Amino acid sequence: MLRRLCIIFFLLLPPAALAQQPPSLPPLVSKSWLLLDVSANQLIASDNPHERVEPASLTKLMTAYVVFEQLRDKKLALDQEVTVSPKAWKTGGSKMFIEPQKRVSIDELIHGMIVVSGNDASVALAEQVAGSEEAFAQLMNQEAKRLGMADSNFTNASGLPDPKHYTSAYDLALVALALIRDFPQYYPLYSIKEFRYNNIAQPNRNRLLWLDPNVDGLKTGYTENAGYCLIASAKRGERRMLTVILGAPSESIRSQEGQTLLNFGFQMFDTVRVQEKDKPLSTVRVWKGKSNEVRAGLASDLLVAIPRGTNDRIKADFISAQPLVAPVPRGQRVGTMKLSYDNRPLGEYPVVALDEIPVAGFFGRMWDTMRLWVK
């Protein structure tokens, strides 16, 4: 038995529509890109988001994620010192300029990997965590699978070219979101503009850190095959946007297109709280309980990204689970809220009991048993 309650909320275009290039967004030349409203966890616009590409130094987001997990699990410590191997020292590309057989702290290596994109620092961290870069890559792939990164395979910690080393804009957004969500204590590292080690000062290559005061991360990358790549995130007020740019033809264009997408998200969309956590959405009939109904709502805030100036096209249908028989613990799923826009499916969200309903006495249970039999 289903009971429906229709509620009018704010406008949210379906994910499929938002994932297409909006008419007002200027054309972009990068190979693939996307724009994500982090606060709403919603894709606003994209082009070729699942195309497998060479990630270059954007690989280091996954390297950092695995290292941060090791720190969280106390398998590493920031003040721990490691000895630099000849392999780490010889690694080509961008460098932190660590020296062989000299000790360097985990904290310094993390700064060198994140701020100045040191390939040598990435290899040194991988060797300390897993014994070898090859073994570390296995950890990277395990975490990628757990995070839902279906378009990715990693063979190294630095992002140096390898035919079997690839990812996608969508997958890079997943790991960037995981970094922001799971390790907020380390996220400020991505906004550091310069790092000095061994008397050598190097700037962060993310130009947007200087051009936009709201940008606070994350990473750039470049190889000849990958082109110029960027993952950038910005926060304005309580709202956060994230963009991924892959395969831009120049350093300046990757910055321009990253800024264009961030501005588009902030200026053309609002992030709206559709339903508050623990706020009653409806009530659900309860059978054989001390109370014959329970308040129903969402276990977490529901935020959506909405185009500005539109607020009347979204509908929510609440479908309760029936028959709902006591006992009903707080947090038990008691129904589903289905969002739609112009009669197109938008999303489904679990509705849970906001109260605990214990079992009724003997006569109450018998009475409801008879009523259920009749129904």
Annotated active-site positions, please? 57, 60, 117
Count of Cβ atoms closer than 10 Å to residue 126 Cβ: 27
What gap in Å lies between CA 24 and CA 33, rounded to an integer?
Answer: 16
**Amino acid (1-letter code) at residue 163:** P
What gap in Å lies between CA 262 and CA 240, rounded to an integer?
Answer: 9
Q: Are 160 and 93 in contact, with CB atoms under 8 Å apart? A: yes
Find, among 355, 354, 330, the residue nearest to 278 by Cα: 354
Crossing angle, helix 106-114 and helix 60-72, to 10 degrees? 150
Cβ partners under 8 Å of residue 190, min gap 6:
114, 216, 217, 218, 219
Pseudo-torsion of CA 304, 310, 315, 316, nearest 10°?
30
C-alpha distance across the termini of the chain, in Å: 10
CB-based burial, 239-259: b 16+ in 10 Å, e otherwise:
bbbbbbbbbbeeeebbbbbbb
70 is written with which tokens?
């090791």
